[in-house]
Amino acid sequence: MNQNRQPSTLRLQLDSQGVLQGARFLPSPNCDERPIDGAIELLVIHNISLPPNEFGGPAVLELFTNRLAASGHPYYRVICGLKVSAHFFIRRDGQILQFVPCLKRAWHAGTSKWHGRLRCNDFSIGIELEGSNLLPFRDSQYAALAALTLELKRVYPVKDIVGHSAIAPGRKTDPGPFFDWQRFFQDVRS
């Protein structure tokens, strides 16, 4: 870890529907209404790269908006019919994209459980980092994630922040062994 690194000074703002001002918004059809008792209490951090372990292309955006062509890569034949989304996607350069307003339920957690509660999509926000289990994340991603997390905690009654692996153990491994939890929690300490 870079000891001279400074915490993010990036300031972000959510509107009344939970849309991040200034972020690129690409509406995903893979969402629905939260249940009445679906207060946002959990942030779930994921990693994703399409094709696997490759960065920078449009495939994640296409997956979350149901436009991924099975012919684009052999792996896409396996996943192109999935109806999945996340609220946010943070690129390797720190750019934040949004697919689902925070007040809607994104389809990111799948079969999941947190503190005895099932269906984590009902009460969580999903944040995807462009990455994999094989490489470290970048400083720009940590800075964007910290700024986004601080804004989400300011607006919503967030009680916990976990990786996908914590709510779907044995089924999911993300954000993976290279996600620096200590660094992240130090950056968002308030």
Q: Does residue 59 sit in helix, strand or coil? A: helix
Catalytic residue among 33, 41, 62, 128: 128
CB-based burial label for 133 (10 Å; 0-12, 13-18, 19+): middle
CA distance 161 to 173: 15
| Alpha-carbon distances, residue 165 vs 104, 133, 183 (angstroms) | 22, 12, 18
Specify whether 54 is catalytic: no
Q: Are the CB atoms for 44 and 162 separated by under 8 Å?
A: yes
The residues that are catalytic are 128
